[in-house]
Structure 1
Amino acid sequence: MSKIYLLFTVLLFASCSSDSPNPTTPIETTYFPPLTSDVWETKSVADLGWKQSAVQPLLDFLELKNSKGFIILVNGKIVMENYFNGHTATTPWYWASAGKTLTATLTGIAQQEGLININNKVSDYIGTGWTNMPLAKENLITNKHLLSMTSGIEEIANGDDVTPAKLTYKADAGTRWAYHNVYVKLQDVIASASGDTWSKYFNTKLRDKIGMTGTWLQVDNNSVYYSNTRSMARFGLLIQNKGKWENTTILNETFYNEATTTSQNINLSYGYLWWINGESSYHLPQSQLQFKGSLIPTAPNDMFMALGKNDQKIYVIPSKKMVVIRMGDVANPANPTFALSGFDEELWSKISALYQ
């Protein structure tokens, strides 16, 4: 047998070995629901090889914990969709602070359109005097500081009022992390730079492009988004697909990567208005304490999250091509929170039981 023939035989055998991908096995592409239809393809728990026995304990827990809407997507297809306590698929509900991530996404879109630069001063777009700080300190604050919660502005007692009189100096921008509603000034920045109202720019550049429904409402001096549960899931799917809806780039991948990873060196578990799981430490809203460990130990380490008051949740898990949505009333009324709560860890122990 010639050496050339022997080499060919070895290579052929290697290409057909069980360790090589089967060329006849198709790679499942991400599914996107139609923009103007409620039709949404599904995939069953059995199709995924998950445990049917873990479904009912999860549903019982969700209902017990005052949930209203719950969806799990895998590769864009609905695996679970359930409604509780009088809620329906068409009922709008508030996103609370989970909607911060909508503002982060629009900030990225405005930057890729050349309207703003996140490294520029906020006052470049909305003028000086938007705070009650000395001008030199106000001019330290960039759009990126608002995205990363490092503006240095003193926390507000009632949390929502961002009129200039309430925005006072605590520390130089970039030196302190504090959960603060002042991020909404980014909506003013975008409106000024685009020449549109915030809601019109949002609808044109994001909502309508991915088939969401919903509207922004003013609630106690705060701009809050309301939508049905599937619209929240559509947004989660866009982000799980790194800012692309099918073949259309809504948000570029560079900004996506910045937004969903650590944005500063103070709170490692915070990106651009997204919470990051799997880091070595974290801070919580209304606290300057640093806690060791991952935010949600029962959840995948690569997960990142939009978290809102009274347990509004968008969980995105890239490694599993998975999005989980929870809307509802506060899960533990005796211990209400602004974002993260013990409910997250309990919920993920139930969700992970499906596939572990």
Structure 2
Amino acid sequence: MSINKKRLKVLLYGNFFGAYRSQNLVKYLLDAGYRLSIISPEFYYERGEKKDIISKMLRVIFSAYYLIDLFLKAALADVIYLLPLNSELIRPVVWASRLFKTKLVVEMYISAYDTLVREKQEVPIDSAAAKKLWRDDVLALSAADHIVHLARYELNYWKELFNITLVKDNVWIAPLFCEPVLTRLSYSAVRGDRLRICWWGTLIPSHGISNILKALQILHADGIPFSCQLFGIPPKGREQLAEDCRDEIKALGLNDLVSLRKDLTFGDSSLPEYLVNNCDLALGLFGDTEKAGATIPNKLIEALTLGIPSLTMTTSSLEEFFDLEVDLWTCETTPEAIASTMKQISAQTIYQVDWIKTKEKVTQTFSVENYCQTIGEVLNNAATNIVHNR
């Protein structure tokens, strides 16, 4: 296939982490004909399989060569694009972009500070590491010529969190999207005499698992027939959270109704293939944190892409993309509110949702095509600014 090469030179900088978003970014840039170079710092400093003395010596000697590589290529590039999930690498990127007057595009995806310090609590809030994450996130958001992010509402939340100003014209919204396999699956579960409830995700307190379990205890006490499967794993280094969840299930008297599983995943498609045939209701996020109220949960977009009836917490962030009284079910985060809504769902007295229409809306809005279109607009804007600034 013949590809017309574009003049714009784009330097991608950052580690990939197996991110589906980054994979599609690279594919789009190659297919569109941009002149592309990639620097992945971990390639230089992480140990590989080779154990010979020469490889070990060279890894030590050249462990910081990626910085030299960055400045050499930044001098030739028109645009430096910081890949998603790499805000901790922002400092040398800003230096290089300023030195060579190269346009800087930053795709945050998450705030490392908000996620690791405030939500997952993996980094102590008063530690030097937390302060560095704060500074890196602030610099990434403040120094970028163009910011690409999932939702405007979350960016506004970060503005308040970090006390910074963002220029509206520099912000580009490219929502979440799922792998194509999800759009090809068809929801076909047949409702029986009990409500089959499912939840999936990371077992962290801010996801609201405790609120969900307490709501299920209310359902059980009120004689509502149901079963619930939690497909959850704890974050690395916090395996105790899985035991805590099992202990809470037992303490609430839900052992016969709620199971915690980790045998099915989205990675090999076993979980979505199971869900479309065995789930009557998918649960989203019910956390009580600021972050929970500011984000669009991945699990919600996955569920709606599969066409599964879904219930999640009521938030203003959802209103950026959804009509909350038409497209899905929402409620407050208290166990009582969750239980009350699930009772209505079980009795089929809740307002009706056309889940096929919702799936169509989601697959159009939260799509790879939208993402690629946005990236194209960002780079076209960057190219125009470069020409005007000559």
Q: Structure 1-normalised TM-score?
A: 0.25
Larger helix share, 1 or 2: 2
Choose between structure 1 and 2 for higher RCO, CA contacts under 8 A separated by at least 6 residues.
1
